Structure 1
Amino acid sequence: MDDPWLVVGLGNPGAGYSGNRHNVGQMVLATLADRIDARFKTHRTNAAVAEGRSYPAGPRLVLAKPNTFMNVSGGPVAELLGFYSLEPDRLIVVHDELDIPYDTVRLKRGGGHGGHNGIRDIIAAVGTGDFTRVRVGIGRPPGRMPAADFVLKDFGSTERETLPNLLEDAADAVQQIAAEGLAAAQLKFHTS
Structure 2
Amino acid sequence: MKCIVGLGNPGKKYHYTRHNIGFLVIDELLQRHQLTLDKNKFKGDYTVTHLNGEKCLLLKPQTFMNLSGECIKPILEYYHINPEDMIVIYDDLDLPTGKIRLRQTGGHGGHNGVRSTIEQLGTKTFNRIRIGIGRPTTNMPIVNYVLGKFRKEEISDVEDSIQRAADACEEWMKRPFLEVMNEWNK
TM-score for both structures, normalised by structure 2: 0.95
Give the superposition deviation at 1:37: 2.3
Give the superposition deviation at 1:187: 2.5
Q: Answer yes or no: is the 8 Å Cα contact 1:33–1:50 preserved in 2.
A: no
Give the superposition deviation at 1:47: 0.7
Distance, in Å, in 2 between the alignment partners of 1:35 and 1:97 is 24
Distance, in Å, in 2 between the alignment partners of 1:10 and 1:179 is 23
- Deviations for 1:81-137, whole angstroms, at most 9, x for unmatched residues? 011111111111000011111111100011110000000000001111100001111
Q: What stretches of structure 1 of length at least 5 have no aligned partner?
A: none
Q: Answer yes or no: is the 8 Å Cα contact 1:176–1:184 preserved in 2.
A: no
Q: Which residue of structure 2 lines up, in the alignment, with residue 28 of structure 1?
A: 25
Q: Which residue of structure 1 lines up, in the alignment, with residue 110 of structure 2?
A: 115
Picking from 43, 56, 77, the partner of 1:46 is 43
Picking from 53, 61, 65, the partner of 1:66 is 61
Q: Which residue of structure 1 lines up, in the alignment, with residue 143 of structure 2?
A: 148
* 1:125 matches 2:120: yes
Q: Which residue of structure 1 lines up, in the alignment, with residue 164 of structure 2?
A: 169
Tell me: CA distance 1:162–1:100, structure 2 relative to 1, closer, same or farther (3 Å): closer
Distance, in Å, in 2 between the alignment partners of 1:178 and 1:109 is 15
How many corresponding residue pairs? 186
- Deviations for 1:23-78, whole angstroms, at most 9, x for unmatched residues? 000000000112222211232211110222222xx212210001110000011000
Q: Answer yes or no: is the 8 Å Cα contact 2:36–2:47 preserved in 1.
A: yes
Amino acid at match of 2:7: L
Identity, % of aligned positions: 35
* 1:8 matches 2:5: yes
CA root-mean-square deviation: 1.2
TM-score for both structures, normalised by structure 1: 0.92
Picking from 65, 87, 93, the partner of 1:92 is 87
Q: What stretches of structure 2 of length at least 5 have no aligned partner?
A: none
Amino acid at match of 1:54: L
Give the superposition deviation at 1:144: 2.0
Q: Answer yes or no: is the 8 Å Cα contact 1:38–1:51 preserved in 2.
A: no
Larger mean Cα displacement after TM superposition, 12-21 or 159-168? 159-168
Distance, in Å, in 1 between the alignment partners of 2:70 and 2:20 is 18
Amino acid at match of 1:44: K
Distance, in Å, in 2 between the alignment partners of 1:153 and 1:132 is 26
Distance, in Å, in 2 between the alignment partners of 1:189 and 1:66 is 26
* 1:37 matches 2:34: yes
